[in-house]
Amino acid sequence: MNTVQFILDNAETKPKAVKSMLVALHERGETVSDILEFVTELEIRKTKVPPIAKKVFDICGTGGSGKSRINLSTALAIKLSKKYCIAKHGNKAASGRVGSFDVIGNLKLPVGDTPEKVKQQLTEKNLSFVFAPAFHPALKALAPIRQSIPHPTIFNYLGPLLNPVPLTAQMIGVSSLKVGEKLAEVCAHLGKNAVIVHDTAFGLDDVSIGGLTKFWMARTGDNKVHSGAFFPEDYGFKSVTNFADLAGGSIEQNQLILKMLIDGTASKSQQDFLGLNEHIADEFFALF
């Protein structure tokens, strides 16, 4: 039994040992090989959604910024579903900020928790919020362990890589440069079409409205990782200098801001944040 199998198979019976191993991985720094080993094992164990006759995209962040901020990618998924088929893989927050499934509960959005339901939602609505725990039973016992660790674990980095829906391409937000470089290499190894973005101004897992966005891109059939950077002004947006303009709060506050983003009544800073992310997603998805 290797390390990955030990962690997945002993979370319930040996939680202290599993927690120690996850913390040790974090302190050492999760490598590309570590991430690939976890993805390979979890791919075997996950419940899959059958392919549908559409191009399907995902926008999913790793979290881990530790900052209270609005659920930008949730609003982005709703906006993009008017143009693309979006299978947004997500969960409730394991640590830190409010997660996508913490805010969408009473908003009458399509939540997919079975393969049949996800396939129907994608076919009929062009949108499904794919509830990760329903498709990854191997991770259920790990939830309380992850919640007890006050920093991201390797599972934060795995989430965007384990969507049970066959994807055409995906945009992945990361909260650090090191994670971005690693996930780009992982995506290249796995043959995924992915663009990985990092907000260097505020340290968020989104395209930055506050300053420089660093990005890495991997494409099927190309083992290389392409990288670059840009500013909001390059796309006609003015940089936001005060993080408080983008900050979120409680689940109820984030739900209200989400509704306002969807309705177009949020603040200019918040709407620009959404607009810039939508523009970059459009550019990337148009390649496929």
Q: What is the pLDDT of residue 98?
A: 63
State the residue for tokens 């164990």.
45
Q: Are 33 and 25 in contact (CB under 8 A)?
A: no
**Which range of residues forms the domain containing residue 152?**
3-285
The candidate with the shortest Cα–Cα distance to 141, out of 273, 9, 280, 287, is 9
The candidate with the shortest Cα–Cα distance to 35, out of 149, 157, 197, is 157
Q: How far apart are CA 5 and CA 38, in angstroms?
A: 9
Chain length of the chain: 288
**Domains identified in the chain, total number:** 1
Q: What is the DSSP string of the chain?
A: --HHHHHHHSTTT-HHHHHHHHHHHHHH---HHHHHHHHHHHHHHSPPPPP-SS-EEEEEE-------B--HHHHHHHHHTTTSEEEEEE-S-SSSS--HHHHSTTTT--EE-SHHHHHHHHHHHSEEEEEGGGT-GGGGGGHHHHHHSSS--HHHHHGGG--SSPPSEEEEE-SSHHHHHHHHHHHHHHT--EEEEEETTT--SS--SSSPEEEEEEETTEEEEEEEEE-GGGGT-PPP--GGGTB--SHHHHHHHHHHHHHT-S-HHHHHHHHHHHHHHHHHHTT-
CATH of the domain at 101: 3.40.1030.10
Does residue 61 come out as left (phi exceeding 0), alpha (psi in the -120 to 50 range) or beta? beta
What is the block-wise mean pLDDT of the chain (288 residues), using blocks of 10 residues?
92 96 95 96 96 95 78 93 96 62 78 96 97 93 92 90 97 94 96 96 95 97 92 97 90 89 95 98 97
Residue 176 corresponds to which amino acid? S
Q: What count of Cα atoms within 13 Å lies in the side-chain half-sphere of residue 264?
A: 1
